[in-house]
Amino acid sequence: MNRIDQRFSQLKAAARTGLIPFVTAGDPDPATMVPLLHALVTAGADLIELGMPFSDPMADGPVIQRANERALARKIGLTQVLDMVRAFRNEDARTPVVLMGYLNPIEIRGVEHFIDEAAAAGVDGILLVDCPLDDATLCAQMQARDLHLIRLLAPTSTTTRAHDLAARAAGFLYFVSITGVTGAARADAAAIASQVLSLRRHAQLPVAVGFGVKDAAGALAIADFADAVVIGSALVERLQGGGDAADVCARARDFLAPIRAALDARKAA
């Protein structure tokens, strides 16, 4: 059974809201990356979303753009991303890892080859911003390796489209809370609540909400109607500037732990 499914059923059983931090692989520093991933788990991450650096991240705001640029300047490509996952897996066999990125690096490496490598490294899901719904080959190959292709939904998605996506999705659905790029405006929980609730009823898959969630208050507002909350830019911003492993990990924990505590203090949706 895929770790993502296991994790979401545990969350459901415990009536907890999932917390999904996002970090860009190799940022702030490749050397502190694996300790950072473990620190995220210690601070309460239920699932880790790991960004695969790309030169042209067209759905990302300035914070994650810069993180991509820093990682690329340190020569972090797919090989290094998979190395990080493998190293993380050596000590953590339970926390699901979802890779997030864009299609071109995977296309150039070879889709089939990459899926095999990712599965072998201990990846559980892949989220591709610019991957169209109709890429049947990719879906079939991922299914064969028990990898989940995580689908994004947006406030502009039509009901028909949402149902199509839900029908083909696995693991969880990622609802983009705003029309915008990552880390932009603050998510307006009230505006999307009904869309997310109707999606959860229809899809019978957990729904995570991300983009524009910056702190405990934002996470709590989302937790009223979602299964999990994704926090990316605000965390990446906190980590930029780097430092030694202890320092980077402490900053990650200081940021994430209060959000975890706030989510645990409320009754899950």
Partner 1 sequence: MKPQRKSEPEIDFNAYPDAAGRFGDYGGVYVAETLIAPLAELSATYLKLRDDPAFQAELAHDLKHYVGRPSPIYHAERLSREVGGARILLKREDLNHTGAHKINNTVGQAMVAKHMGKTRIIAETGAGQHGVASATVAARLGLECVVYMGETDIARQAINVFRMKLLGATVVPVSSGSKTLKDALNEALRDWVTNVRDTFYIIGTVAGPHPYPMMVRDFNAVVGREARAQMLDEYGRLPDVLTACVGGGSNAIGLFHAFLNDRDVRIVGAEAAGEGLATGHHAASLAAGRPGVLHGNRTYVLCDDDGQITETHSISAGLDYPGVGPEHAFLKDAGRAEYVGVTDVEAMHAFHLLARSEGILAALESAHAVAQAIKLARELPRDALVLCNLSGRGDKDVHTIAQREGIAL
Q: How far is the CB of 78 from partner 1 (least distance, A)?
A: 7
Question: Which of 4, 45, 54 is closest to 27 using CA atoms?
Answer: 54
- For residues 76 and 68, give the distance between their C-alpha atoms in angstroms, rounded to a whole number: 9
Catalytic-residue membership of 124: no
The answer to the question of residue 30 lying near partner 1 (CB under 8 A) is no
User: SS3 for 243?
Assistant: coil
- For residues 185 and 201, give the distance between their C-alpha atoms in angstroms, rounded to a whole number: 27
DSSP state of 32: G
Q: Which two tokens stand for residue 44?
A: 């309460």
Q: Which two tokens stand for residue 113?
A: 């080859």
The answer to the question of residue 156 lying near partner 1 (CB under 8 A) is yes
Question: Which of 95, 75, 85 is closest to 33 using CA atoms?
Answer: 85
The answer to the question of residue 102 lying near partner 1 (CB under 8 A) is yes
Among 9, 10, 94, 108, interactor with partner 1 by CB under 8 A: 108
Among 107, 112, 188, 254, interactor with partner 1 by CB under 8 A: 107
- For residues 230 and 131, give the distance between their C-alpha atoms in angstroms, rounded to a whole number: 20
The answer to the question of residue 61 lying near partner 1 (CB under 8 A) is yes
The answer to the question of residue 143 lying near partner 1 (CB under 8 A) is no
CB 41 within 8 A of CB 253: no
The answer to the question of residue 65 lying near partner 1 (CB under 8 A) is yes
Half-sphere exposure of 124 (CA within 13 A, CB side): 25
Half-sphere exposure of 101 (CA within 13 A, CB side): 22
Among 30, 77, 242, 258, interactor with partner 1 by CB under 8 A: 77
Applying CB under 8 A, the span of 27-35, 37-45, 75-83, 253-261 interacting with partner 1 comes to 75-83
The answer to the question of residue 155 lying near partner 1 (CB under 8 A) is yes
The answer to the question of residue 154 lying near partner 1 (CB under 8 A) is yes
Q: How far is the CB of 100 from partner 1 (least distance, A)?
A: 12
From residue 157 to residue 176, the character string flagging contacts with partner 1 as x (rule: CB under 8 A) and all else as - is: xx--x---x----------x
- Degrees, nearest 5: CA angle 127-163-15: 70
Question: Which of 46, 82, 90, 31 is closest to 208 using CA atoms?
Answer: 46
Using CB under 8 A, count the residues that bind partner 1.
Answer: 45
Pick the closer one to partner 1 by CB: 105 or 242.
105
Catalytic-residue membership of 60: yes
Which member of 27, 46, 49, 117 is catalytic? 49
Binding site for partner 1 (CB under 8 A): 53-62, 65, 69, 72, 77-79, 102-109, 129-132, 134, 151-158, 161, 165, 176, 179-181, 184-185
- Point out the residues that are catalytic: 49, 60
